[in-house]
Amino acid sequence: MTKTSLLGNQPVNRIGFGAMQLAGPGVFGPPRDRDAAAAVLRRAIELGVNHIDTAQYYGPDVVNDLIREVLHPYPEDLVLVTKVGGKRDDKGAWLPAQSPAELREGVEANLRSLGVEQMGLVNLRVMPGSDHDFAEQLGELVALKAEGKLAMIGISTVTLDQAKQAVAQTEISEIQNPFSVANRVDEPVLGFCREHDIAYVPYFPLGSAFAGGPKALAADPAIAGVAEKHGVSASQIALAWLLAHYDRTLLIPGTSSVAHLEENMAVGDIDLDAGDLTALDGATQLPDPMAVVAH
């Protein structure tokens, strides 16, 4: 299995890092153990991570501030990816921030908190029920790209029709939607990415906690059987399946533990054969009520 792929035209390790879990409980406030969170970031870079997914509203500001304090000046090959379209209130509730002006404000907030002049990629995170025009939202990111404030544009939590509309409007470098071995509802969008050579970044790659998460994967006979064969965890098999499913899938598993980080990075050494993939096609498909909830 190839260990690198392209995010837009940027070569990256296919296993990156999702920074959401570095904030406090509920992705709000400071981490329980700041030194441990900092150690995870340092170890990720040591292990070859050059694609970090974050958001200003993780904390808010907490995660971006930590990334800047620990990693700046950033490695030359590090791609910092963020998303805009949401915000938090003073109690930590997730709120939409979908107007073009709010999207611009979100990009500017990320630039400030991360201490950069340009984001590697910004995802337009479409919130359910948004009454803002999708083309206008995307147009604001196109304008920000023209101003040099972001290098690439991605879209997140989108339908197939929105993906088609976005590609017709501008160059899309990434689509970030919920997808896992146990939740393949987004297969049509992934197929669209395959047709158009767009990087696909699955969130909830181990399923959502509301659908059982890693415990549900471990309880599935098909997944457990392949995991036993390879001598690894069910979660590692689930991540390896995603890498095998499409060669431009990029993973951003998150953790606040160095040991768990190392386990995630080891997934790149797992080679699933045709028999494994056939067995995993029999994995139970679970409902995912978190598919349209903020991330």
Active site residues: 58
- Nearest-Å Rg of the Cα atoms of the chain is 18
Q: Tokens 């990009």 map to which residue?
A: 107
Tokens of 70: 């620990």
The total number of residues written for the chain in this structure: 295
Q: Tokens 């995912």 map to which residue?
A: 288
Burial of 231 (0-12, 13-18, 19+ CB in 10 A): exposed
Among residues 7, 3, 2, which one has the least CA distance to residue 193? Answer: 7
How far is 18 from 110, CA to CA, in rounded Å? 15
Neighbours of 198 (CB within 10 A): 25
Q: Tokens 């003073």 map to which residue?
A: 90
Our CA angle for 87, 93, 95, nearest 5°, is 40
**Terminus-to-terminus CA distance in the chain, angstroms?**
29
| The dihedral sign for the CA sequence 94, 95, 100, 104 | negative
74, 147 contact by CB (below 8 A): no
Neighbours of 199 (CB within 10 A): 25
